[in-house]
Chains A and B, each alone.
Chain A
Amino acid sequence: SQTIHQWPATLVQPVGSPLSLECTVEGTSNPNLYWYRQAAGRGLQLLFYSVGIGQISSEVPQNLSASRPQDRQFILSSKKLLLSDSGFYLCAWSPKRGNTEAFFGQGTRLTVV
């Protein structure tokens, strides 16, 4: 069966520090991968998606970047965090076929102080 791992679960970082959140998927190959951010009490905002290794598309321009160095690895990064980067970050994957659901990791609660 497929599983998705996302870490760390919580993170407190000072303003201006770098960020690296990692997500890996097991039990499937060539998935679509996604990074979402959820502000408190709000829905999910799609940040990045990837349909293959090295292929990253950004939905919202901001202080973050994403990379997919391996088929089942998706990384969210920032060189210098801003206070506004605080939030709940969720990684997800979906099969390539259409009309299918997404499978989410447990999320990372990022607090920038």
Chain B
Amino acid sequence: SQQGEEDPQALSIQEGENATMNCSYKTSINNLQWYRQNSGRGLVHLILIRSNEREKHSGRLRVTLDTSKKSSSLLITASRAADTASYFCATGVSGGYNKLIFGAGTRLAVHP
């Protein structure tokens, strides 16, 4: 079953603008992760934020986590056409094997 719900489902912006994607989840988590998928390819890990962290940065990426609201956001600043992809949040939950539950993703299109 899918736990993460991304919002919006699709996002279209111009180069240079910021892109914000949100993720909500339902159960307790160990961590929350964001992945990127170019069309027809595998997923690439972007960033992991642990349940006791509130904000994390990596280059042009900023992730926040609000465990009281069971939500996370991914901000991509100064977007580029190469950022065009689908972005998925995945919740790391207890299960003895690094179980990840993925949302349906946000399709981001960045126009030159």
Contact = CB atoms under 8 A, between A and B. Distances in A.
Interface stretch (B14-22, B41-49, B61-69, B76-84): B41-49
Q: What's the dominant secondary structure at chain A's contact region?
A: strand
B112 interface: no
Contact of A101 (B4, B45, B96): B45
Interface stretch (A61-69, A79-87, A92-100): A92-100
Interface residues of A, number: 28
B2 A43 contact: yes
A73 interface: no
Interface string A40-68: 01111110010100000100000000000
A106 B41 contact: yes
Contacts of A100: 48, 98
A99 B50 contact: yes
A107 B45 contact: no
Interface of A: 6, 32, 36, 41-46, 49, 51, 57, 88, 90, 92, 94-95, 98-107, 109
Given A43-B88, A46-B99, A106-B41, 5 more contacts: A43-B104, A44-B43, A44-B88, A49-B97, A101-B48
